[in-house]
Amino acid sequence: MSKILVTGAAGFIGSQLSHRLWQDGEEVTLLDNFSYGSKDNLIFEDHDFREEICRKDIRDLDFMEKLFSEKHFDVVYHIAGITPLPDCQNMPVEAVDVNVRGTVIMLDLVRRYGAKQMIFASTSAVYENNTDFPSVESKVEKPSLLYPSTKYTSEQFCKAFSDAYGIPVVVLRFANVFGPHIDCLRTQPPVMGYIIRELFRGNRPVLHSTGDQERDFIYVDDLIDLALKVRSARSFDTVNVSTGRTVTINEIYRVIKEQMGRDTDPEYAEVGHFWANYPELYADPYPISTEIMEREVVKYTCLSNKHAQEEYGWKPKTSLEEGIKNTVEFSCRVLKKAEEKV
Ligand SMILES: NC(=O)c1ccc[n+]([C@@H]2O[C@H](COP(=O)([O-])OP(=O)(O)OC[C@H]3O[C@@H](n4cnc5c(N)ncnc54)[C@H](O)[C@@H]3O)[C@@H](O)[C@H]2O)c1
């Protein structure tokens, strides 16, 4: 049994990772400040984590110091972060403080209290300016948007701490993740959460551009399988977590629509105000670059998972249909509960 800390444990990925670690018999400590995520994510059929989660900020230095000195963690899964792209554009100082400074705080705690490993949640968004596909771990064209910039910078700190102190840090670059617990309630949910929410509410979802843009989607259970396997790493590593295949947004829409028994067609909109819920990003004197917005909407993502396969003997197992079925079932329960609360 290992002592493991999961930050961001009330979020989509962190909650399910914590649950799997608990099922595996590990002594797992959950931590989240609930700036995103939810208490409902902590309720599982066989366990309820709501009472035991530490409701704390990773930047609460006194608390974190005390936690590390008392618990003597073996492994830290640093999953917490500000994830929505428009939120990072809209509050850059906070995004850097949480995503970059927060990661350095975790690395420094790992260093001083002797945890054996840290595993860091990074993103395929760092490849936003890449033009060679599938994207490989060794080649990143520096990103332009603030969210991937914070993650890319944090990756550099992971490498620096690993080089200087020999801490085996593993950077996981997640492709687009989907599965139960995906956020479907926040202002700008990920595309699957958005489509499910709008169809559930009887609205017509708006897809930007033609819907033919292709993305690499990885199911959350497959991601967790790999996040557990990389514990065998003994030195710094960067690993793509992806299927290595792409699917169009239109195809995703079709599968979700079928699973939900709806026959609503999507509306297609110009890229123009993709983040319409964030009008301040389009305000003078420096409105967000149209070119960058367009690139973000139509971008193609496909990440090689060759390194994960060869080094860690991992392969994604879940089909898109099965993954979407589980996502739809879970999200509809969340949406129903949210409706009942109103
Ligand atoms: N979901 C995806 O498709 C995806 C893709 C690539 C990378 N990632 C990365 O994976 C990680 C988890 O993503 P997710 O989809 O579960 O996001 P999420 O928003 O559901 O979870 C992140 C959690 O971190 C918590 N958090 C934020 N700031 C914190 C702070 N200062 N102190 C403590 N907790 C804090 C939030 O409250 C939230 O519960 C993130 O770091 C994200 O950048 C996610």
- Per-residue model confidence as pLDDT tens digits over 175-207: 999 999 999 998 889 999 999 999 999 999 999
Overall average pLDDT of the 137-142 stretch: 97
The answer to whether residue 330 is domain-embedded is no
- Most ligand 1 atoms within 8 A of CB, residue of 36, 109, 151, 170 to mutate: 36
Q: What is the pLDDT of residue 38?
A: 94
Q: How many degrees, rounded to 5, is the angle at CA 104 between CA 72 and CA 79?
A: 70
The answer to whether residue 310 is domain-embedded is no
Ligand 1: which atom is nearest the Cα of residue 122? 7
The answer to whether residue 302 is domain-embedded is no
Q: Which residue's CA is the nearest one to ligand 1's atom 10?
A: 121
Residues with CB under 6 A from ligand 1: 7-8, 10-14, 32-37, 57-59, 79-83, 98, 102, 121, 123, 174, 176-177, 183, 190
The answer to whether residue 321 is domain-embedded is no
| C-alpha 325 to ligand 1 mean position (Å) | 23
Average pLDDT, the chain: 96
Ligand 1: which atom is nearest the Cα of residue 80? 24
- Most ligand 1 atoms within 8 A of CB, residue of 13, 99, 145, 330 to mutate: 13
The answer to whether residue 232 is domain-embedded is yes
Q: What is the pLDDT of residue 121?
A: 98
Question: From CA 115, how far away is CA 215, in angstroms rounded?
Answer: 35
Q: Enter the pTM of the model.
A: 0.97
Q: In sequence order, which ranges of the chain are alpha helices (DSSP H)?
A: 12-23, 61-71, 85-90, 92-96, 102-113, 146-165, 191-200, 220-229, 249-260, 290-298, 306-312, 320-341
Overall average pLDDT of the 134-155 stretch: 98
| C-alpha 79 to ligand 1 mean position (Å) | 6
Overall average pLDDT of the 211-233 stretch: 97
Overall average pLDDT of the 58-82 stretch: 98
The residue segments making up the domain with residue 20 are: 3-180+218-242
Q: What is the CATH number of the domain that holds 45?
A: 3.40.50.720
- In tens, the pLDDT along 232-282 reads 999 999 999 999 999 999 999 999 999 999 999 999 998 877 888 889 999
Question: Hey, how many other C-beta atoms are within 10 angstroms of the C-beta on 241?
Answer: 27
**Strand, coil or helix: 227:** helix
Q: Which residue's CA is the nearest one to ligand 1's atom 23?
A: 8
| C-alpha 121 to ligand 1 mean position (Å) | 8
- In tens, the pLDDT along 157-177 reads 999 999 999 999 999 999 999
The answer to whether residue 210 is domain-embedded is no
Q: How far apart are the first and last CA of the chain?
A: 43
Burial 42-51 (b: 16+ CB within 10 A, else e): beeeeeebee
| C-alpha 285 to ligand 1 mean position (Å) | 31
| C-alpha 32 to ligand 1 mean position (Å) | 9
Contact 80, 17 (CB under 8 A): no
Overall average pLDDT of the 209-217 stretch: 95
Q: What is the pLDDT of residue 272?
A: 75
- In tens, the pLDDT along 78-128 reads 999 999 999 999 999 999 999 999 999 999 999 999 999 999 999 999 999
Ligand 1: which atom is nearest the Cα of residue 36? 37
Q: What is the pLDDT of residue 271?
A: 82
The structural domain count of the chain equals 1
Q: What is the pLDDT of residue 276?
A: 83
Q: What is the pLDDT of residue 187?
A: 83
Q: What is the pLDDT of residue 188?
A: 82
The answer to whether residue 307 is domain-embedded is no
Is the predicted pLDDT of residue 342 greater than 80, yes or no?
no
| C-alpha 34 to ligand 1 mean position (Å) | 10
Question: From CA 89, how far away is CA 234, in angstroms rounded?
Answer: 36
- In tens, the pLDDT along 2-43 reads 999 999 999 999 999 999 999 999 999 999 999 999 999 999
The answer to whether residue 67 is domain-embedded is yes
